[in-house]
Amino acid sequence: MKFTLSWLLLGPVALALCCLATAQPGSDTTSLDVATMAAQELDRVMWLPGAPNYSPAFKQYSGYVITDKHLGKALFYWFFEAMDKPDEKPLVLWLNGGPGCSSVGFGQAQELGPFRVKKDIPELELNHYSWNQAANLLFLDSPAGVGFSYTNTSFESDPPGDNSTAHGSYAFLVRWFQRFPQHKMKEFYIAGESYAGHYIPQLANVIVEENKKASEQNYINFKGILIGNAYMDGDTDLQGIVDSAWHHAIISDALYSTFLKSCNFSMEILSPECEAAWVEFGALYKLIDIYSLYTPYCDLGYPALNASSSSVQTRRIDARVDLLKMPMGFDPCTQTYATEYLNREDVQRALHANSTGLPYPYVLCRNTINSVWKDSDMTVVPIVKKLAQEGLRIWIFSGDTDGRIPTTSTRYTLKKLGLPIKEDWSPWFSHKQVGGWTVVYEGLTFVTVRGAGHTVPTSQPKLALELFMSFLANQNLPSKPF
């Protein structure tokens, strides 16, 4: 539905009164005051360029929430109500990683959101496996400076990092719930992938601790986390990458032997021989996509990031960050289409995005953020273990054709947790086919997704939705064909 002149002439108060008059009986919105409804309507997305001609049945909102007035930080969100009975469905926050990558550009536009960018032309099509079939979905560009989110303070003066990102996202949630109080008491979950293996446990920990002292107004009804191909531990991440590459016949016996002899991934400083091996290793992934080992590269090339990758550094943490700067593709060219679409002025107007006139184009991942990211926990294993002890629902899933955060790395990391196994390695099914494998630990469930790369909802959308629905229902995936 497009704006009409009469709609545009309505002021915020009149607009809210209009919507109050047309609210459905029993809807959460009937209890909202006029000012709150007016604030929500300012963020309402009424139409999208290139969207299907018919209007979907769900509402959507997007805009900014100021998280730090002093530093001039504001985070951009895009929210979709569930397709059916949104008042009865939980709320799920989705976070992409990087650090420095956009949840709007990846999660919404290429993975699990209601609209995917079409191939060949930068327009939209409905995603038949959108996760808002099961939940209300909230996509957040975090930290400030990612995607459409912005900061008025230089990264040199206020460098981004794990701690500031967790607290910035928490500040966003508190203020977003103030703007949308009808969703505050819904069951709330956080999901995401990749470096969100840091973001999600760290944000979850902040919520758990803040909930212990929060007022009723700021209490978040937090229930659990779901993380795919999660970067959680530096040692097991790098060792798993090497072992997985050898098992997938990507690196030679000689290079693998060099890694085994020269690399101690528990050390802060890598040896010169190990650094040289990483350089040779990185060159191989200019030939294939490390994020999806068995899918083709994009013939058009990948969208440029707005900063060049730095050379390999001596510290182990920097070697890891350099790997994160490799092209982040799955299906050839979807990144390019999403970048083109979100840079359109009419799209930005419809989404209430780039309202301050950012001095740079929209990019899926900003290397300038990645390059100044110094505050990065070497492991979040203790946090994950604490969250399990707090009784949160925790599922970790892994696409088994990802070479960047391979299943091997995740299995090594989970072993560090030392959790007792309740149900050991067993297949789960999607109808007649094996969807992957699962292990149920005391306090955590691990699931592999067969044939999926780093972005599981992109490469295996049907399996990803089935996994998501089982997570929300707190039910084991089917153990037999059906």
Residue pLDDT, tens place only, 169-192: 999 999 999 999 999 999 999 999
Q: Choose, from 142, 194, 244, 430, the residue flagged as catalytic.
A: 194
Q: Given a cut of 80, is residue 304 above it in pLDDT?
A: no
CA 219 distance to own-chain centroid: 23
Q: Choose, from 43, 454, 459, 470, the residue flagged as catalytic.
A: 454
> pLDDT per residue over 251-262, tens digit each?
999 999 999 999
Q: Given a cut of 80, is residue 1 above it in pLDDT?
A: no
Separation between Cα atoms, residue 248 and residue 258, nearest integer Å: 17
pLDDT mean over 165-169: 98
Residue 300 — pLDDT band, cuts 50, 70, 90? low
Share of the chain above pLDDT 70, in %: 85
- pLDDT in the model for residue 336: 80
Contact 358, 316 (CB under 8 A): no
Nearest one of 233, 171, 230, 242 to 206, comparing CA atoms: 171
Separation between Cα atoms, residue 109 and residue 138, nearest integer Å: 13
- pLDDT in the model for residue 122: 67
Structure tokens at 389: 């002890």
Rg of the chain in Å (alpha carbons): 22
Separation between Cα atoms, residue 172 and residue 182, nearest integer Å: 16
pLDDT mean over 34-39: 93
- pLDDT in the model for residue 26: 36
Active site residue 164: no
Structure tokens at 148: 């459409």
Q: Choose, from 398, 402, 430, 470, the residue flagged as catalytic.
A: 402
- pLDDT in the model for residue 69: 96
Q: Given a cut of 70, is residue 305 above it in pLDDT?
A: no
Q: Given a cut of 90, is residue 61 above it in pLDDT?
A: yes
Q: Which residue has the tokens 């000012």?
A: 35
Taking the CB of residue 311, how many other CB atoms lie within 10 A of it?
A: 8
Among the residue ranges 290-299, 331-340, 360-369, 456-465, the one predicted with the least confidence is 331-340
Structure tokens at 64: 């900014």
Structure tokens at 53: 């001609």
Residue 219 — pLDDT band, cuts 50, 70, 90? very high
Active site residue 194: yes
What is the helix (H) or strand (E) element at residue 197, kind and residue range?
Answer: helix 196-211
Q: Given a cut of 80, is residue 10 above it in pLDDT?
A: no
Q: Kindly give the pairing relationship between strand 393-399 and strand 222-230.
A: parallel
Mean pLDDT taken over the chain: 87
Separation between Cα atoms, residue 376 and residue 165, nearest integer Å: 11
Give the CA dihedral 155, 157, 163, 164, nearest 10 degrees: -80
Q: Given a cut of 90, is residue 387 above it in pLDDT?
A: yes
Q: Given a cut of 60, is residue 441 above it in pLDDT?
A: yes
Residue 268 — pLDDT band, cuts 50, 70, 90? confident
- Residue-range domains of the chain with CATH: 1-44 (no CATH), 45-176+187-215+223-482 (3.40.50.1820)
Share of the chain above pLDDT 90, in %: 75
Active site residue 257: no
